[in-house]
């Protein structure tokens, strides 16, 4: 539990925590939280792709996750902070 009485155990995903807390913090902090959420997704996609490659496409869970993310890969793999853009292929 955080000092402002927010129980982190109520949230299953970082994205839902970000969405809820964004309404309760300053605009700047909400923006930073959104960037953190996008970066979290980017790291997750990299981890999934790593497991697909490591298993030589035999990890069905990783394959399913990669199939779910791949159609929007350019959008999902873009983290904008100033001019920085990260891409996965």
Domains of the chain: total: 1
Q: Encode 19-57 in three state secondary structure.
A: HHHHCCCCHHHHHHHHHHHHHHHHHHHHHHHHHHHHCCC
Whether 25 is covered by a domain: the verdict is yes
Whether 1 is covered by a domain: the verdict is no
Buried b (16+ CB within 10 A) or exposed e, 15-27: eebbeebbeeeee
Domain containing 71: what range? 8-76
Q: Is the pLDDT of residue 76 over 80?
A: no
Tell me the whole-structure pTM to 2 decimals: 0.68
Whether 82 is covered by a domain: the verdict is no
Residues 10-64 have pLDDT tens digits of: 777 778 888 888 888 888 888 888 888 888 888 888 999 999 999 999 999 999 9
Question: Where is 63: in which H helix or E strand?
Answer: helix 60-69
Q: Is the pLDDT of residue 1 over 70?
A: no
Whether 47 is covered by a domain: the verdict is yes
Whether 89 is covered by a domain: the verdict is no
3-state SS, residue 16: helix
Q: Is the pLDDT of residue 6 over 80?
A: no
């Amino acid at each position: 539990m955080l000092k402002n009485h927010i129980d982190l155990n109520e949230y299953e995903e970082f994205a839902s925590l970000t969405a809820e807390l964004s309404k309760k913090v300053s605009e700047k902090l909400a923006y930073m939280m959104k960037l953190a959420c996008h970066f979290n997704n980017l790291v997750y996609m990299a981890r999934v792709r790593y497991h697909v490659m490591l298993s030589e496409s035999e990890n069905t869970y990783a394959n399913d996750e990669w199939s779910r993310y791949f159609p929007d890969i350019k959008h999902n793999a873009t983290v904008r902070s100033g001019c920085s853009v990260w891409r996965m292929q």
